[in-house]
Chains A and B, each alone.
Chain A
Amino acid sequence: MPSFPKPKIPDSIVPPPLRKPGKPGAAGTRKGQAPSDLKAAPPERQSAGDKLLERGKDAPIDALGWVDQRMAASGFLTGMLYRKVPKGTNWFYTLGSATLFAFVVQAVTGVFLAMYYTPSATQAYASIAHINNDVPLGQFVHGMHKWGASVMVILIFLHMGRTFFFGAYKYPRELNWVIGVVLLILTMTMAFTGYLLPFDQRSFWASIVGININGTGPVIGPYLSDFLRAGPELGATTLARFYAIHMLLVPGAIIALIGAHMYLVVKLGTTAPPWIKAERPKGASPLAQLDAGANGNGNGRVNGNRVDGAPASGEGTNGAAS
């Protein structure tokens, strides 16, 4: 049976503790470190084809290395991708990533819909009909965008519910909760402004009702609805305005805030579910533990394999001693 070369994970993306030591004589070992028995039993000379294969296998790693020498991003990436998560992390913790995925689907399908859509009051409906009826796979892409919008709204609420019921909004993650609430509002804005774009009976009347609900806010409500409509009645510029808000203004804000949201997730770490009990070393005072936990926040690994505020035993004893 022919043996195939095993796929090798490049060293540059594996964190040092997980890296396997290179075998003597194998590709990838450092030069100038000849094993002691090399002279006694020299390795078999490689054929030209084997050498080419060897170089070919290294090519992607070399390319990665070339980029990383100039970006120095591997430290950050390994820190982010191999960060430790608390005990008890479960499927509920994927709701945030699921929401992000739904957003990416909306962004990608939205870009392709924009290639055929005409944001004009007289042509919008016809252009949507054209997408649905004539463009190959048009109905599919439009359908993904339409149903994906509902999926994203549902997922963002589930993600919010997870955060709330697991108590994951508490110190030091309040700012991330606030950013998340702004993202929720922006998502609802996307759902609202996107609804008008097909410009059929349903979107027309739904938008009128939505804008009028806006107007019921005292003092600034009437001006807010004038701003949304670009005038006293829903007109030609309303559609263009909703289109600009829907595909330029809000997506930019959402992308920026998702960046901030994820930065804080990586920086602060995630919380353990509430049913996981804190592990404390025997005899240590809980107050000293909290103190050490606060000290540990700065290093970017708030919770390795442990619950918030209850640091691993090593740090805990250090904190108590200081």
Chain B
Amino acid sequence: MQERAKPDPPGYFEGESMTRRRAFTVGAQALGGLAGAGIILPAVGFAVAPIFHRGKERWEAVGPVSDFVEDTYRQVVFTETEGIGDAGKTTAYVRKSSEELGEESGKFVAVSNRCAHLGCPVRFVEAAGNFICPCHGGVYDFQGKRIGGPPVRPLDQFQTRVRKGQVELGPRYSVTNQLEPVRARDPGEFTGGIWEYLYPPRPSTFPAP
């Protein structure tokens, strides 16, 4: 009687790389993983989708050209986010551009009231000619450059244009310490130089003008 060869390793038939039991285990786990991924991945994508979504560009008229002068700001309120009523409104300080300050003439400057420290609303104080934040004492000069307190960069600005004699405000953008426009950053994030990489621009914001 011929002796049957003992399987080596035990449980394997000759020429097999995997036992039947092991194949079924691996197969069942793979199917389970596939089913799990089929549920988890769309759900996670659903939750993080807004990071990659950019809304429609929005322009709003805030007043006739004659309303704005070079040497002081005029406070305007307009809607930045639609669908949430008053909570979606934001305040901007608008003036004509000034050649004295080295700005291109015939344009309009719209400075956001969102503090570059943590996003509190700053106020333009006429007597001082400065923007002052009530929360943590941030101070900005007439152009919105930081001159004191915890803010990390100048105040944000809004794109401006003139249509039918009306000044219109558009998407928000941030500026570097030299007032060069960059893509909008959240408050608390530095701009310019290496910071452009440490706080990368978000796909949900509009390109800088």
Contact = CB atoms under 8 A, between A and B. Distances in A.
Contacts of A208: 118-120
A199 B80 CA distance: 18
A14 interface: no
B188 interface: yes
A178 to B, nearest CB: 24
Given A222-B200, A226-B202, A227-B50, A234 B189 contact: no
Interface string A205-223: 1001101110110110111
B119 A226 contact: no
Contacts of B47: 227
A37 to B, nearest CB: 65
A122 B84 CA distance: 6
A121 B82 CA distance: 11
Contacts of B87: 121, 199, 204, 234
Interface in B118-142: 118-120, 135
A139 interface: no
Contacts of B25: none
B49 to A, nearest CB: 9
A223 B80 CA distance: 20
Interface in B68-120: 80-81, 83-85, 87-88, 118-120
A66 B196 CA distance: 69
B200 A215 contact: no
B85 A122 contact: yes
Nearest to B121: A205
A22 B81 CA distance: 76
A122 B188 CA distance: 28
A294 B170 CA distance: 69
A236 B83 CA distance: 6
A225 B200 CA distance: 13
Contact of B120 (A209, A213, A219, A237): A209
Nearest to A225: B186
A232 B184 contact: yes
Interface residues of B, number: 31
Nearest to B80: A233
A215 B85 contact: no
A17 B155 CA distance: 74
B38 interface: no
Main DSSP-derived SS at the A contact region: helix
Contact of B188 (A199, A215, A231): A215
Interface in A234-292: 234-237, 239
A230 interface: yes
A172 B51 CA distance: 42
Given A209-B120, A227-B51, A232-B202, A222 B185 contact: yes
Nearest to A215: B186
A234 B114 CA distance: 13
B24 to A, nearest CB: 30
Contact of A216 (B48, B81, B184, B189): B189
A223 B47 CA distance: 12
Given A209-B119, A219-B198, A235-B88, 13 more contacts: A121-B85, A122-B85, A199-B87, A205-B119, A221-B189, A221-B199, A222-B189, A226-B50, A226-B204, A227-B51, A234-B87, A235-B84, A239-B84
Interface of B: 47-48, 50-51, 53-55, 80-81, 83-85, 87-88, 118-120, 135, 184-189, 198-202, 204-205
Interface of A: 121-122, 199, 204-205, 208-209, 211-213, 215-216, 218-219, 221-223, 225-227, 229-237, 239
14 contacts: A209-B120, A209-B135, A222-B185, A222-B200, A222-B202, A226-B202, A227-B47, A227-B48, A229-B50, A231-B50, A232-B55, A232-B204, A234-B87, A235-B81
